[in-house]
Amino acid sequence: MKVIKITAVWCSACLIMNKRWKEIEKDYDVETISYDLDFDEDEVKEYEVGEKLPVFIFLDGDKEIGRLIGEKSLEEIKKYIEELN
Amino acid sequence: MKKLLKYILVFLFFFCFLVNVNAKEKVTLYFFHGDGCPHCAAETTELIKDLEKRDDIKVVKYEVWHNQENSAFLDKVMAVYKTKTGIPYNVIGDTAIVGYNEANKFEIERALEYYKEHNDKYRDVVKLIKEGKEVKINDHYSKQDDKTDKDTTITIPFIGEFNVKNISVGSAAVLIGLVDGFNPCAMWVLLFLITALIGLKNRKRMILLGSIFLLTSGLVYFLIMFSWLNIIISVSTSILFRTLIGLFAIGAGIYNLYAYIKNRNQDDGCDVVDEKKRKTIISRIKKFTREKSLIIAILGIMALAISVNIVELLCSAGLPLVFSELLAINNITGMKAVVYDLIYVIFFMLDDFIVFFIAVKTMDVIGFSTKINKYSHLIGGIIMLLLGILLIFAPGIIMFNF
């Protein structure tokens, strides 16, 4: 599964989620493409980031099948991914 | 004729004595108090009622919490005596005694006796002020404040003397500062700055510029808080002003509680800062951290810290304002106020210090969970609402300092 991860260096929730996502990458077969809100403006533009960060966009091919927004626990992330699968 | 002369002489003798008695001015205690102020109530019960029964002393009472005119008059009186502000405010001749406790009760009684015995030194200063006359105070009891503190001072082995009454205000400084500190408004700037500094791979420069940012931020916050306190002190006895701050605290408290209730089931995470503002600050941080001239880099970081903190202050104006009112209502001014404001700022910046310290140690940046922000809204809201209600309806409860 392809996942677009949009974070920002100034966002504390993103820092926490980056670490949790590394754990997820160990347990699940995910291909992560990371973008920074401030430094990858062109790429981020097409995903319409709302008012909260971080944003994880789950793709099946090029089609968005789910979106996880904000700070979540490891269990919540795992549960969400399993529901998508 | 001789008999008549004798009567005249006797009459003159008594007349002279009578004149002499009348020349003695009756000593007046001016008692400025507030309805609802527990220390005023205690003074009324324990002292004023007894003094009112006496013929040799006159008691004049001014209620200042519900009477605007009296409140304004007390401001004038306090300005003449140049004492700390607060009630109960007792005036006997040239002596003003602020607050009420066992020691002050003794001082009031002693001052009354002193002026009765040394009537030549007594003058009705309050009356002169009321008449609009200029008065220069010649206070015989200028060191009363030091004496009153002894009541609440205990000696702790190996540590020394400690004033118990400072605990409550100190606890408030720690608690409110800590809650205020978890306000996320300015944290994003620090996180970006640390990330930029880590990118330089120069620990010394990181420590220098990061410390300057934090110290400048703390100093700006401290100066704003201290200025507020001085403004509040100058008008602290005004009922209108205290009520306005109380209403502001209630409004801000309700807003914070509303923010908590509204967001409690929503996603935790970082609010995306306004793009234009974000880009401006980010470009400044990049520019100053990479600046070759260290002096320009330092000045730039200082300017950034000042501008960010002034703008972001609106984000958390409520708690420092309410804390300043808390200091004012407890008559904490001067060096004591500096110490309490410093305690507040240190705890306000505690999360920033932790993030920076860890970054320096590990050359990695960490963030606090945004869930804490949610609870800071809840706790901050409760504190503000509570203090607002107390400021308006029962200010006596938060007068820890008497």
Number of H-type helices and E-type strands within chain A: 3, 5
Q: Do B184 and A16 touch (CB under 8 A)?
A: no
* Distant-in-sequence, close-in-space partners of B390: CB < 8 Å, separation ≥ 6: B246, B397, B398
Q: Do A71 and B273 touch (CB under 8 A)?
A: no
Closest residue in chain A to residue B368, using alpha carbons only:
A12
Half-sphere exposure (Cβ direction) of B351: Cα atoms closer than 13 Å: 24
* % pLDDT > 90, chain B: 28
Average pLDDT along chain B = 82
Number of other CB atoms surrounding residue B115 within 10 Å:
24
Which one is predicted more confidently, A59 or B114? Answer: A59
Residue A27 DSSP SS3: helix
E strands, B34-72, in order: 57-63
Q: How far apart are CA B191 and CA A37, in angstroms?
A: 15
> Picking from B13-17, B155-159, B183-187, B382-386, which range would have the lowest pLDDT averaged per residue?
B13-17
> How distant is the Cα of A82 from the closest Cα of chain B, in angstroms?
19
* Distant-in-sequence, close-in-space partners of B322: CB < 8 Å, separation ≥ 6: B176, B245, B249, B383, B384, B387, B388, B391
* Cβ atoms B39, B206 nearer than 8 A: no
B57-63, strands of its sheet edge to edge: B57-63, B27-33, B89-92, B95-98
**Chain B interface mutation, best of A7, A12, A73, highest count of B Cβ atoms under 10 Å:** A12
* Cβ atoms B190, B355 nearer than 8 A: yes
- Residue in A9, A49, A69 nearest the CB of B192: A9
Residues of B in contact with A8 (CB under 8 A): 270, 272
- Residue in A13, A38, A72 nearest the CB of B270: A13
- Residue in A9, A38, A54 nearest the CB of B269: A54
DSSP B194-236: HHHHHHTT-HHHHHHHHHHHHHHHHHHHHHHHHHHHHHHHHHT
Q: Do B191 and A16 touch (CB under 8 A)?
A: no
- Mind listing the domains of chain A with CATH numbers? 2-84 (3.40.30.10)
- Mind listing the domains of chain B with CATH numbers? 23-155 (3.40.30.10), 166-398 (no CATH)
For the segment A5-62, what is each residue's pLDDT rounded down to a tens digit?
999 999 999 999 999 999 999 999 999 999 999 999 999 998 989 889 999 999 998 8
For the segment B294-331, what is each residue's pLDDT rounded down to a tens digit?
999 999 999 999 988 887 777 766 888 889 888 887 76
Number of other CB atoms surrounding residue B252 within 10 Å:
23
- The ipTM (two decimal places) reads 0.88
Residue type, A25: E
